[in-house]
Structure 1
């Protein structure tokens, strides 16, 4: 399996096993305790499937099984040298080469003129409240790992998330202010009619084909 074919969950699994051998249930517990479900979609079933795929591609291997009481037998895995290489390659690629992620929020912002201005402001303020709550939760996590003297390199992703949230909140607050003060004029019926007329004229000038050069 080439590094670029690793799924986000595959990356998370390889990163965990790079810390040491463990079984899938332990991986799941660690991901949840570290709140990594905020950055990668993880379910017990999908985690086991991801491990199976990594085994098939020789990126991880079984190292033993164990059983506690009447619980089902658990298989422990470790990362292979090929797995470490694939993990490093994929991380390097993602960090170095931006790829289109097609965020739905940006799409909604691009089309926000299709709703009433008052309602738009209400929706944006609601999002700001959600983001403030999210940042407060991340702040608690950051305080906890700092108190445990966890090296900061292990939670740079968390710090990046908080920085992104802070930037989004600042932008949204400015956006609301621009709407309410009129610095961003909202779409009116007259503006919509004018735009429709321009489109009609453009279509007519191009013989009905928007892709045809004048």
Structure 2
């Protein structure tokens, strides 16, 4: 007697592992970062990003559905990550607010040119009028995040009696000013005579805060 055939369940093709998915995403974002820095946002293309990443455009669009999404990922990965790291830093016992700022923000400012952050800021300035979304992304992920961080620290310093200039609580942009000056000087105004962003920031901190 012939035994009835047992119908075996069909195997569902397995997709890429989460690790591979994240690795591919990082590769694409790194390629987009290079593309935008080299060619700008307007002239940069998704086709070139895909080529740099060693992928097809079809694969790229599985991860990012537009050039705007690519730029947002670049901001989040290469620029906003620094702001988040600063916000999550912990103040040491008996550390003055000014000391904390110099240890965290000052250290980040030291690599602001070599990390590509200055070039990205220049890109936003150069193309933000034509593409307002770029400026909105930068403001949301970087500028506003840092101003919020600086405001909280200025308030803490005021409570401790560590502020030389109480108006800093209302004008936290004073702490961003030396960093922006260095970025614009080094990428647009006078790149042949670069300014040291860390030095400028630390001088500003010493003018605004009391420290031992």
> Fold-level match, TM-score > 0.5?
no
Write 1 or 2 for the structure with the bigger share of strand.
1
Larger RCO (alpha carbons 8 Å, 6+ apart): 2
Question: Which is higher, the Rg of structure 1 or of structure 2?
Answer: 1
The TM-score, its normalising length taken from structure 2, stands at: 0.36
The TM-score, its normalising length taken from structure 1, stands at: 0.35
